[in-house]
Chain A
Amino acid sequence: MGTITSADLIAMLSAIADTMDENRDALCALDGEIGDGDHGVAMALGFNAARDALADLEADAVPTQVLNTAAKAFLSGVGASCGPLYATAMMRAAAAVKGQDVLSSEDGSKLVAAMAEGIAHRGKASVGDKTMLDVWHPAAEAATEGGWSAAIKAAEDAAEGTKMMQAKLGRAARLGERSLGHMDPGAASAVLVIKAMASTLG
């Protein structure tokens, strides 16, 4: 059985920042269809702020410290809607592994579940509202039951499924039926986050 160390979590956050940099303009374009076109910028800023803050972290930091540091940097770095959502997600993940110096590979699914909980708590969205929670919720369930490959499959399917949903929260909610047919940008970026987590922790 593999383990997940603080260094792995730092690598994970760096991989998320990389994928946000690569997909920044595509996410902005997706957001421009039903929102205000800034989602890729905000996600890239947030995870880059997290990566930068982790570069200054002491070498003996435990996983909880890594995740809390990332959360605070993300929140201070970006604001927007994804700031409080991902900051709360990472704080919950930090709390979920508190007291552990090293995580087991099964703890990976615990992180996903805690992040999904944090996003649900802060955003007050329900499943079906066409938000990032529509990806995080099924991905967390799938991760617990079937590991990373199941989580990725569930996340991708769920993001695709947001095309069929009418937005109930956030800027896109003002669109009503016109939000149909468009993938929710927060759902799309959630898939990228989960894939980057899987590629580094799985």
Chain B
Amino acid sequence: MKTKKIINDGANAVDEMLDGILLAHGNILRRADGSGRAIIAKDGPRDGKVGLMIGGGSGHEPTFVGFVGRGLADAAAIGNVFASPPPDPALESVNEINGGAGVLFMYGNYAGDVMNFDMAAEMAAMDDIEVRTVLTTDDIASAPLDEIEKRRGVAGNFFIFKAAGAAADEMMSLDEVERVARHANARTYTMGVALSPCSLPQTRTFNFELGPDEMEIGMGIHGEPGIERGPLKTADEITDEIMDRILSEMGAQVGDRVAVLVNSLGSTPLMELYIMNRRVQARLAEAGLETHATWVGNYCTSLEMAGASITVMHLDDELTRLIDRPCECAMFRVV
């Protein structure tokens, strides 16, 4: 049985979505010439500023395109649903966001993204553009701590991109923006839970099976299997399971500050996210941590998957300043 989706031809879903985004947010975004898959911040790139390029597969909106705008990313290279973009979109926009201070590529740690963005970086280097790369690896369920370089990037992208984008907006050098990006990544911890699968617009069939009473802790944002599958638990039990792992890995001291993101994977409603957040905040308070800021909603989705993720960023003075710095993107603002 095919899943129900409001689409035309599934093969055109990504391009038609981008058409709609450009029509809604034309004051902030424009397309680079070429494939139509490179989206640039109208008011972002400028002389002397490090260009920040983010990107990856579609299906995670507002990640990535929604985080393009002044104060955050200068461009996004957009792939097909759950598939890395080819090198083309990055190459079509890298010149336009290079203000002479170099360009930082930031994206989640996935094999396909690494191969394609590396090819783009090699080709950009031939045009004498200095490109550095920082991979995000915030999903603590995706590999053990001693294999941290294998972890994938998920909803924590939101904080990590925000910090790096603010650093670039402060006109820091490429070295400094790269340092901030690595630092932000090292201090960002995410874990999710999936309740139901999602389906690609091109196939309209579920990409994995999950029983009617089952949930899977640690599942990835493309349905990559997680660490534990079992019967559905309560909001507090699920939140505790996730927060136990985040708090134990974060190793924060009493009095430290954190930023929190409670994120829907697509179809889980705000009601459930806020129920989770209530418990997240209780656990943070119990650990003696101060929540500096909280975001709740759809920030890194997985099409229509049901489920949620919790991200905690362990702040210091610099990260606090960078997270608070204003930005104006199509789908996210700090004022």
Seen from chain A, the residues whose Cβ lies within 8 Å of a Cβ on chain B are 24-25, 28-29, 31-38, 40-42, 45, 75-85, 122-123, 169-171, 173-175, 178
Smallest beta-carbon distance B227→chain A, Å = 9
Do A36 and B115 form a contact, CB below 8 Å, given A29-B205, A174-B142? no
Interface contact B152-A37, CB-CB below 8 Å: no
Judge whether B86 and A75 touch: CB under 8 Å: yes
Say yes or no: A32 contacts B208, CB within 8 Å: yes
Q: How long is the Cα–Cα vector from A199 to B50 in the complex, in angstroms? A: 52
Instruction: Judge if B288 is at the interface, Cβ distance under 8 Å.
Output: no
Given contacts A28-B205, A41-B203, A170-B111, contact A79 B223 (CB under 8 A): no
User: What residues of chain A lie closer than 8 Å to B87, measured between beta carbons?
Assistant: 75, 79
- Given known contacts A32-B207, A36-B220, A82-B112, what 9 new A-B pairs fall within 8 Å (CB)? A37-B200, A38-B83, A38-B200, A40-B203, A41-B81, A84-B119, A169-B111, A171-B222, A175-B224
Judge whether A81 and B112 touch: CB under 8 Å. yes
A199 CA to B329 CA, complexed, in Å:
52
Q: Does B178 contact A (CB under 8 A)?
A: no
Distance (whole angstroms) from the CB of A61 to the closest CB of chain B: 22
B150 and A173 form a contact (CB under 8 A): yes
**Nearest Cβ on chain A to B154's Cβ, whole angstroms:** 12
Asked whether, in the complex, the Cβ of A123 is within 8 Å of the Cβ of B35, the reply is no
Q: Is B269 an interface residue (CB 8 A)?
A: no
Q: Is B95 an interface residue (CB 8 A)?
A: no
Q: Are B150 and A174 in contact (CB under 8 A)?
A: yes
Provide 19 A-B residue pairs closer than 8 Å at the C-beta atoms, listed in order of the A residue: A28-B203, A31-B207, A32-B208, A35-B222, A35-B224, A36-B82, A37-B203, A37-B208, A37-B222, A37-B223, A78-B83, A83-B112, A84-B119, A85-B115, A169-B111, A171-B224, A174-B150, A174-B224, A174-B225
Specify which chain A residues have a CB less than 8 angstroms from the CB of B224 in the assembled complex: 35-36, 171, 174-175
> Which 6 pairs show the lowest CB-CB distances between chains A and B?
A37-B207, A36-B222, A81-B112, A80-B83, A79-B86, A84-B115
> A36 touching B207 by the CB < 8 A rule?
yes
Q: Which residues of B contact A173 (CB under 8 A)?
A: 150
Bitwise, B58-82 to A at CB < 8 A (1) or not (0) is 0000000000000000000001111
B274 CB–A CB distance under 8 Å:
no
Nearest Cβ on chain B to A182's Cβ, whole angstroms = 11
Q: A171, B80: Cβ atoms under 8 Å? A: no
Indicate if B267 sits at the interface (CB-CB under 8 A): no
Q: Is B86 a contact of A37 with CB atoms below 8 Å?
A: no
Interface residues of B in 199-216 (CB under 8 A from A): 200, 202-203, 205-208
* Docked-complex contact B84 and A28, CB < 8 angstroms: no
B88 beta carbon closer than 8 Å to chain A: yes
Known: A42-B83, A80-B83. A32 touches B112 (CB 8 A): no
**Contact code string B90-128 (vs A, CB < 8 Å = 1, else 0):** 000000000000000000001110011001000000000
Q: Do B200 and A79 have beta carbons less than 8 Å apart?
A: no
Q: A29-B205, A174-B142, A178-B225 are in contact. Are A37 and B82 (CB under 8 A)?
A: yes
Docked pose: A63 CA to B35 CA in angstroms: 27
CA distance A78 to B142 in the complex (A): 25
Please indicate the chain B residues that have their CB under 8 angstroms from the CB of A45 in the complex: 80
Contacts of A42 in B (CB 8 A): 80, 83
